[in-house]
Copies of this chain bind each other. A is one copy, B any other.
Amino acid sequence: MATSSDTEICGFIGLGLMGLGMANNLLNKRKHHLIIWNRDTSKSVDLAAEFPGRVTVASTPKEVVATAQVTFSMLSTLEASTAVFEGPEGMLAGVGPTTSIVDCATLTPERMAEMAALVEGKGGIFLEAPVSGSKAPAEQGTLIFMCAGNKVLYERVSEDLDAMGKAKYFLGTVGAASRMKIVVNMTMGGMLACFAEGLGLAKAADLPLGDLLAILDGGACSCPMFQLKGPKMLQRKYDTAFPLKHAQKDMRFAVELGDKLAQPLPVAAAANEVYKRARRHGHDDHDFSAVAEACMPPQVVKGEASNDKAVNGKSERP
């Protein structure tokens, strides 16, 4: 099996919350020369300055694709992805018979299939590779890649994926990876909504919320997400690892996927509406743990944060 040579030129498009960490790992763990593009050029320039002689800043997405042997793209929304993919200076315009594209965004399965067809229509090959994990795993190289599409390309970039992630899965034809990602994020989003409702009910019942976190963490529900976000949620601090508007978008994708498959998802559908309520309260760009704001009794949400007391429950351990 041919794997990517360490001296190849690798493209990277999209240096946001996720992409920057991923590009850094490629540069640190692999020997690639990177050609990069980002909407906000200052991020590209900064990265080039950090890795002198190893990074070229392209002026268009087209240039990246036309130059690189393999191009990774990591864009945060369907709209951003479409804007960068299409148009005279977009990625597609740079596609030729030797092009390989690995798209790591969370899009719909339909859009992935459409992009794959367009790339293949010009002779290129395409791998869909959305990831599980947010900002910190992207920086730490512990993402999980869900891949589908061209199996040869999957094998060729396997060392690159290993540089950016801790696991990877090949799931079949294009669309399967996006569907898997939707399932994963639906489960995660639903879980966090359940947790937020638990906090809300405990607060309404005047129970010590800090004890609730400890009790949950001592049992079968203990998970990194609750450990990380729980204490911040009690303080109502929602610094953004995964924006709530994107979490809600993924819940919506899940409900729509259920639509296409005639698969009822009553819990996910209810959670989706709770995320919408949080969006309505102005939390679009906060972390998705701000879903708690849609679940707290009104005195908490409207009044001043007085959860310090609550955090400070009494617990004793043997």
Q: Which A residues contact B (CB, under 8 angstroms)?
A: 132-134, 137, 144, 146, 158, 161-162, 165-171, 176, 179-180, 182-184, 186-188, 190-191, 193-195, 197-198, 200-202, 204-208, 211-212, 214-216, 218-225, 228, 248, 252, 254-259, 261-274, 276-277, 279-281, 284, 297-298, 313-318
Contact = CB atoms under 8 A, between A and B. Distances in A.
A207 B264 contact: no
B208 A171 contact: yes
Contacts of A279: 262
B265 A190 contact: no
A161 to B, nearest CB: 8
Nearest to A158: B316
A276 B259 contact: yes
A276 to B, nearest CB: 5
7 contacts: A132-B218, A167-B315, A167-B317, A180-B212, A220-B224, A248-B259, A258-B276
Given A204-B258, A264-B274, 10 more contacts: A162-B318, A167-B318, A168-B315, A180-B202, A180-B205, A187-B221, A188-B220, A197-B267, A221-B223, A269-B270
A259 B205 CA distance: 11
Given A197-B267, A220-B224, A225-B221, A180 B207 contact: yes
A37 to B, nearest CB: 27
Contacts of A134: 220
A257 B273 CA distance: 12
Contact of A183 (B170, B207, B258, B272): B207
Contact of A171 (B137, B211, B219): B211
A134 B219 CA distance: 10
Contact of A269 (B146, B182, B273, B313): B273
A184 B273 contact: no
Nearest to A277: B264
Given A183-B201, A204-B261, A280-B264, A146 B273 contact: no
Contacts of A298: 280-281
Contacts of A133: 219-220
Contacts of A215: 132, 144, 146, 167, 169, 180, 184
A201 B221 contact: no
Given A194-B190, A214-B169, A318-B167, A201 B270 contact: no
A201 B317 contact: no
B317 A190 contact: no
A280 B267 contact: no
> Which of A195, A198, A279, A298 is most buried by chain B, counting CB atoms within 10 A of its CB?
A198
A95 B153 CA distance: 46
